C-alpha cells in the first residue's frame, strides 16, 4: 500500500512541525514557515519548429526572504507540480541556513520533458520562462540556478534574456548561478552537489566507525548529482558496485569504472546496454536490493518508500535527491539503526558553490577549482558536525536535528524584523 503522504509539500510541512515541536516553538512560527511568501504561476508561449505555438505552464516560488535574497534552481520536468515546487523552495530555505548562507529558499519549475524539445525550442522555452519571472528575480532579490532538466546552457540563455530586459547595456551575471565558466560560472559548480553527497557519506562513515576504503556503494540516479557522487566516493576509496538511471541498473561486484560509465552516458544519454568490464544490466528497481554499505538516492522525490525501503541493505544513506525518503520509510530505516544524512545537508553542495559563484560575480574576482572545493568542504563538514552533535545531545535523528538548527537560525531574523 502506498503512503498517504507522498505529496512532497505535505512531507516538508510535517518536517517543519516536528522541528518546531522539538524546539518548543510557537504555532505562529510554524504557520509562517509552512507556507511560501510568494507563488508565481506563468504561461509561456513557445514557437515550435513546426511553426505552431505551444503554451507551457511554469512556477517560481519564494519561500522566505528574512535571511536575505532567495535562492533555488529551475526544474524542467514533465512531473513538475505546484506543490512540488513549493516543497523544493521550502527545503531550500532550510538547506541554506544549515550551511550558513545568507539566503532564503526559492525554486522554479516548468511542466515539460526537455528531451522532447529541439535545441531551438529549448532556448525559446528558457528565454520565455526567464522573461515571465523577471519581475520577481534579481541579484539581490532571487537568484535562480539549474536543477533537473536544466544546465549551464539554459542559464546562459536566461542570463542573456534577463540582461536584455533589465541590463540597460549591462550583462547581469549575478542574477543566475550554475552558468558556464565562460559566462561568469564557478569552477567546481558542476561537481558541487555530487561532491557534497560524497563528503557527507565519508563523514557519516567516520561517526559509524567504518573504514571508507572498505565500503561498497550503490548510487540510484546517474545524472549530474549521482555521477559525481559516485566519482568522488570512488576517489575517496569506496567501491561503486551499482549505479542506476531511468532505464536500468548496472551492477558489478568488482567495482564499476565510474569515469568510463560517465563518458558512456554522455554519448548514449543513458546507461542502457552498458557492459564494460564485466558489468551486468538489471531492471532499474534492482538498485534498491543490491548489497552495500552506502546507498545514495540521487534521482527524484519519493524514491525510498515503505515498499522499496525493505530491500535496502545499507548502513548509511546519503540523500543526493530532494525528498527521496518518505516519512514512513524513514521510520523503518531509523528503527534499523541506518544512519541518514538528510537531503537538506547532503545535497547542499550545489547551493553552497552557487553562493560562491554569486559572490565572485558581484566582486569580479574568481577562485581556483581547488579553492572552491576547499571552501565547500569546510562549510559542509562544519554543518555536519553541528547537526550530529545536536542529534546526540537531543537523542534524535539527523533530519530532525538539521531542522531544529535551521529553524533556530531562521527564527532570529524573523523576530528581529518584527515578523513574529
Active site residues: 107
| The three cell numbers locating residue 275 | 557492459
Phi, psi of 23 (to 5 degrees): -90, -10
Cα(175)–Cα(108) distance, integer angstroms: 14
Q: Which has the closest alpha carbon to 289: 325, 264, 314?
A: 314
Cα(303)–Cα(90) distance, integer angstroms: 19
Cα(354)–Cα(352) distance, integer angstroms: 5
Cα(144)–Cα(105) distance, integer angstroms: 10
Q: Cβ contacts of residue 164 below 8 Å, gap of 6+?
A: none
Q: Cβ contacts of residue 215 below 8 Å, gap of 6+?
A: 205, 237, 238, 239, 292, 293, 294
Residue 408 C-alpha from the chain's centroid: 22
Q: Which has the closest alpha carbon to 176: 26, 82, 71?
A: 71
Q: Which residue has the cell 529558499?
A: 105
Cα(99)–Cα(97) distance, integer angstroms: 6
Count CB neighbours of 290 within 10 A.
23
Q: Is 150 helix (H, G, I), strand (E, B) or coil?
A: coil
Dihedral class, residue 153 (left if φ above 0, else alpha if ψ from -120 to 50, else beta) = alpha
Count CB neighbours of 277 within 10 A.
12
User: What H or E segment, with its residue span, contains residue 28?
Assistant: helix 27-33
| The three cell numbers locating residue 95 | 538547506
* Beta strand residue intervals within 112-146, DSSP E: 142-146
Q: Which has the closest alpha carbon to 287: 295, 279, 278?
A: 295
Count CB neighbours of 27 within 10 A.
11
Q: Cβ contacts of residue 233 below 8 Å, gap of 6+?
A: 197, 198, 201, 202, 217, 219, 240, 294, 296
Spatial contact of 234 and 242, defined as CB atoms under 8 Å apart:
no
Amino acid at each position: 500500500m502506498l503512503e498517504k503522504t507522498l505529496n512532497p509539500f505535505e512531507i516538508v510541512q510535517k518536517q517543519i512541525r516536528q522541528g518546531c515541536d522539538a524546539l518548543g516553538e510557537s504555532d505562529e512560527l510554524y504557520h509562517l514557515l509552512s507556507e511560501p511568501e510568494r507563488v508565481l504561476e506563468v504561461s509561456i508561449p513557445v514557437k515550435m519548429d513546426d511553426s505552431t505555438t505551444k503554451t507551457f505552464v511554469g512556477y517560481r516560488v519564494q519561500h522566505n526572504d528574512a535571511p536575505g535574497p532567495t535562492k533555488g534552481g529551475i526544474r524542467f520536468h514533465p512531473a513538475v507540480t505546484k506543490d512540488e515546487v513549493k516543497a523544493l523552495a521550502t527545503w531550500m530555505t532550510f538547506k541554506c541556513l544549515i550551511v550558513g548562507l545568507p539566503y532564503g529558499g526559492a525554486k522554479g519549475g516548468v511542466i515539460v520533458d526537455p528531451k522532447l524539445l529541439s535545441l531551438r525550442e529549448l532556448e525559446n522555452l528558457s528565454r520565455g520562462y526567464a522573461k515571465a519571472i523577471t519581475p520577481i528575480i534579481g541579484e539581490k532579490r532571487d537568484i535562480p540556478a539549474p536543477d533537473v532538466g536544466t544546465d549551464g546552457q539554459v542559464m546562459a540563455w536566461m542570463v542573456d534574456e534577463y540582461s536584455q530586459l533589465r541590463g540597460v547595456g549591462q550583462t547581469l551575471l549575478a542574477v543566475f548561478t550554475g552558468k558556464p565558466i565562460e559566462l561568469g560560472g564557478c569552477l567546481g559548480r558542476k561537481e558541487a552537489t555530487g561532491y557534497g553527497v560524497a563528503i557527507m557519506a565519508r563523514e557519516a562513515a567516520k561517526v559509524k566507525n567504518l573504514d571508507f576504503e572498505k565500503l561498497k556503494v550503490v548510487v540510484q540516479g546517474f545524472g549530474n548529482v549521482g555521477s559525481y557522487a559516485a566519482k568522488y566516493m570512488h576517489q575517496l576509496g569506496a567501491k561503486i558496485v551499482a549505479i542506476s538511471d531511468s532505464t536500468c541498473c548496472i551492477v558489478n561486484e568488482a567495482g564499476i569504472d565510474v569515469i568510463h560509465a560517465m563518458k558512456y552516458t554522455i554519448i548514449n544519454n543513458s546507461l542502457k546496454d552498458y557492459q564494460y568490464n564485466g558489468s551486468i544490466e538489471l531492471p532499474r528497481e534492482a538498485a534498491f536490493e543490491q548489497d552495500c554499505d552506502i546507498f545514495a538516492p540521487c534521482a527524484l522525490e519519493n524514491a525510498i518508500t515503505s515498499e522499496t525501503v525493505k530491500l535496502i541493505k545499507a548502513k548509511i544513506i546519503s540523500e543526493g535527491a530532494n525528498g527521496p525518503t518518505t516519512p514512513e520509510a524513514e521510520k523503518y530505516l531509523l528503527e534499523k539503526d541506518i544512519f541518514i544524512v538528510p537531503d537538506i545537508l547532503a545535497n547542499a553542495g550545489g547551493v553552497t558553490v552557487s553562493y560562491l559563484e554569486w559572490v565572485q560575480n558581484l566582486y569580479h574576482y574568481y577562485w581556483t577549482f581547488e579553492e572552491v572545493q576547499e571552501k565547500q568542504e569546510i562549510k559542509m563538514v562544519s554543518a555536519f558536525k553541528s547537526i550530529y552533535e545536536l542529534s546526540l545531545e537531543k537523542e534524535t535523528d539527523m533530519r530532525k536535528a538539521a531542522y531544529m538548527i535551521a529553524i533556530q537560525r531562521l527564527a532570529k531574523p524573523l523576530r528581529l524584523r518584527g515578523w513574529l
